[in-house]
């Protein structure tokens, strides 16, 4: 087999080996979950807990049940408003009748207030008159049109257990959501709307537009009691009970939970707090693989050991960040050939690394060539051919010499014997 054929055969073998390994790995899936203490008992109709940056669900109780959600409806009212108008836009309050028991900041018909302050009024003290003002004006004079925008946005976000019939969250037929949808919506709002993220973590605010200055306080009293709490929204009606979507950050990880149908403000707070604390106590956000990190150095065929380029560098294609149980051991298993044969381009996929948590494969990340692997140079092939040629030539010479020496020896021996016999013959 020539050197070129040997190179091709080795390359094919590497590809086949990698393909077989990849096929074997398609059976490995699932998220590692070590044994963790059970969540606290909750006095709720439904609850959910997710990690913000990854969206990883950590807990669910009746999470898809369609329930009344009270003023947490305003999470969508705020999103649609922020996506369709500017904070400095000034709206005139419509003369829209509201029940005296509704939460209000006392807007007067025709009173002018900017969107910035209307959103603060709606999100902190949960003012229904601010929600109606925003819906009427963003909906171009139609609250029903605005509600249609809310439902369209819910469909776009995949909130399959959510439907709106009011921008404020009053008990109205057809206004419902689920614990899972609420945490997903809150997560989206926090990630995509900087003003929303700022607003819901304020304990109080001063509204300076309108007929007079107003001071408002956030109904989410967890913000005052726990510095690591940073949002999101309260709600209460007779049908919904006490509802809270809450977010908190500890150790570089943000968790969002929702508790629906609790019996009191104290129960609302204690249930939401207990679920968040359980999450922080038992889970952490870890990054076992970073994009660009060198995880293997296979040898390169045709380059002498120790010479520049004798080993290729295989780097992780992506960064992998995931929520893991704190009790789960995390390991990496690198699958790559021990030797590579060029030519191979930079960024070629030549292996993978498996992330293993609690003895289960969580994911696998491709390994890419950091730089190209060159083809074996012709000079190497020529040198090898010359070595073979010289070796064969030497062998021929040696064999010829041996044959020549044998013939010479036989002739010399025969001649010697013949001369000796003549010298002893009597004359």
- Asked if the model's pLDDT at residue 349 lies above 90, the reply is yes
Angle separating helix axes 74-84 and 179-192, nearest 10 degrees: 30
How many angstroms separate the CA atoms of 367 and 357, rounded? 19
pTM, rounded to two decimals:
0.78
95-99, 178-182, 214-218, 240-244: lowest mean pLDDT where? 95-99
In the chain, where are the structural domains located? 3-30+290-369, 46-283, 382-410
Q: What is the pLDDT of residues 200-224, one digit of tens each?
A: 999 999 999 999 999 999 999 999 9
pLDDT at 32: 35
Higher-confidence residue: 8 or 258? Answer: 258
Higher-confidence residue: 15 or 84? Answer: 84
> Which pLDDT band, with edges at 50, 70 and 90, does 97 fall under?
confident
How many angstroms separate the CA atoms of 24 and 8, rounded? 24
Is CATH 3.40.50.970 the classification given to domain 46-283? no
Q: How far is CA 333 from CA 324, 355, 370, in A?
A: 17, 7, 19
Q: Reduced to 3 states, what is the DSSP secondary structure of residue 320?
A: strand
Nearest to 302 by CA among 377, 386, 384: 377
Q: Reduced to 3 states, what is the DSSP secondary structure of residue 91?
A: strand
In this structure, the number of other CB atoms found within 10 A of the CB of residue 351 comes to 25
Query: Would you say 350 and 337 are in contact if contact means Cβ atoms under 8 Å apart?
Result: yes
Overall average pLDDT of the 179-191 stretch: 98
pLDDT at 16: 33
Nearest to 274 by CA among 86, 73, 39, 9: 39
Q: What is the pLDDT of residues 376-410, one digit of tens each?
A: 865 444 444 444 444 445 554 555 555 655 655 56
pLDDT at 421: 42
- Asked if the model's pLDDT at residue 17 lies above 50, the reply is no
pLDDT at 103: 84
What is the DSSP secondary-structure string of 360-380? EEEEEEEEEESSPBPPPPHHH
- Asked if the model's pLDDT at residue 11 lies above 50, the reply is no
Q: Which fold has domain 3-30+290-369?
A: Peptidoglycan synthesis regulatory factor (PBP3), Domain 2 (2.60.410)
Q: Reduced to 3 states, what is the DSSP secondary structure of residue 315?
A: strand
pLDDT at 19: 36
Overall average pLDDT of the 77-87 stretch: 98
Q: What is the pLDDT of residues 22-71, one digit of tens each?
A: 333 332 333 434 468 899 999 999 999 999 999 999 999 999 999 999 99
- Asked if the model's pLDDT at residue 239 lies above 80, the reply is yes
Q: Exposed, middle or buried by CB within 10 Å (0-12, 13-18, 19+), for 130?
A: buried
Nearest to 129 by CA among 137, 121, 140: 121
- Asked if the model's pLDDT at residue 81 lies above 60, the reply is yes
Question: Rounded mean pLDDT of the chain?
Answer: 85
Strand stretches in 93-157, DSSP E: 112-114
pLDDT at 358: 86
Residue 263 — φ and ψ, nearest 5°? -90, -15
Q: How far is CA 327 from CA 54, 193, 245, in A?
A: 20, 35, 28
Break the chain down into helix, strand, coil percent, rounded to 5.
35, 25, 35
Overall average pLDDT of the 93-107 stretch: 84
pLDDT at 33: 45
> Which pLDDT band, with edges at 50, 70 and 90, does 85 fall under?
very high
Strand 299-300 to strand 339-340: parallel, antiparallel, or no bridges (unpaired)? parallel
Q: Exposed, middle or buried by CB within 10 Å (0-12, 13-18, 19+), for 225?
A: exposed
Q: Which residues pair with 300 in a beta bridge?
A: 340
Q: Exposed, middle or buried by CB within 10 Å (0-12, 13-18, 19+), for 194?
A: exposed
What is the DSSP secondary-structure string of 22-58? HHHHTT---------PPPPP--SSEEEEEETTT--EE
- Taken as a whole, the chain contains a residue count of 427
pLDDT at 391: 47
């Amino acid at each position: 087999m020539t050197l070129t054929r040997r190179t091709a055969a080795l390359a094919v073998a590497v590809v086949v080996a990698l393909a077989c390994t990849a096929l074997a790995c398609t059976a490995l899936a699932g998220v590692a979950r070590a044994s963790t203490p059970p969540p606290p008992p909750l006095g709720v109709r439904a609850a959910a807990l997710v990690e913000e940056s990854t969206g990883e669900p950590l807990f669910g109780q009746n999470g898809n049940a369609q329930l009344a959600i009270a003023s947490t409806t305003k999470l969508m009212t705020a999103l649609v408003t922020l996506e369709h108008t500017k904070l400095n836009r000034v709206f005139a309050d419509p003369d829209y009748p509201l029940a005296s028991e509704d939460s209000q900041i006392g807007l007067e018909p025709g009173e002018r207030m900017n969107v910035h302050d209307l959103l603060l009024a709606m999100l902190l003290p949960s003012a229904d008159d601010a929600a109606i003002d925003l819906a009427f004006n963003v909906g171009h004079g139609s609250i029903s049109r605005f509600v249609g925008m809310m439902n369209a946005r819910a469909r776009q976000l995949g909130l399959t257990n959510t439907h709106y019939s009011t921008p404020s969250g009053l008990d109205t037929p057809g206004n419902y959501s689920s614990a899972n949808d609420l945490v997903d919506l809150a997560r989206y709002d926090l990630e995509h709307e900087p003003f929303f993220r700022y607003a819901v973590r304020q304990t109080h605010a001063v509204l300076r537009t309108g007929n007079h200055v107003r001071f408002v306080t956030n109904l989410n009293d967890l913000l005052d009691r726990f510095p690591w709490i940073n949002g999101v929204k309260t709600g209460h009606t007779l049908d919904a009970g006490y509802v809270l979507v809450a977010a908190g950050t500890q150790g570089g990880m943000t968790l969002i939970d929702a508790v629906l149908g609790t019996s009191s403000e104290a129960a609302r707070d204690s249930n939401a707090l207990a679920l968040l604390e359980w999450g922080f106590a038992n889970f952490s956000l870890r990054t076992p693989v970073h994009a660009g990190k060198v995880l293997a150095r296979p040898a390169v065929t045709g380059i002498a050991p120790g010479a520049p380029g004798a080993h290729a560098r295989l780097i992780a294609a992506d960064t992998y960040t995931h929520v893991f149980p704190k009790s789960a051991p995390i390991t990496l298993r690198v699958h790559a050939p021990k030797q590579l044969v060029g030519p191979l381009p930079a960024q070629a996929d030549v292996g993978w690394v498996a992330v293993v948590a609690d003895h289960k494969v969580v994911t696998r990340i491709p390994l890419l060539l950091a730089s190209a692997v060159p083809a074996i140079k012709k000079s190497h092939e020529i040198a090898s051919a010359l070595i073979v040629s010289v070796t064969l030539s030497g062998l021929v010479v040696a064999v010829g010499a041996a044959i020549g020496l044998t013939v010479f020896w036989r002739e010399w021996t025969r001649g010697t014997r013949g001369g000796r016999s003549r010298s002893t013959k009597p004359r």
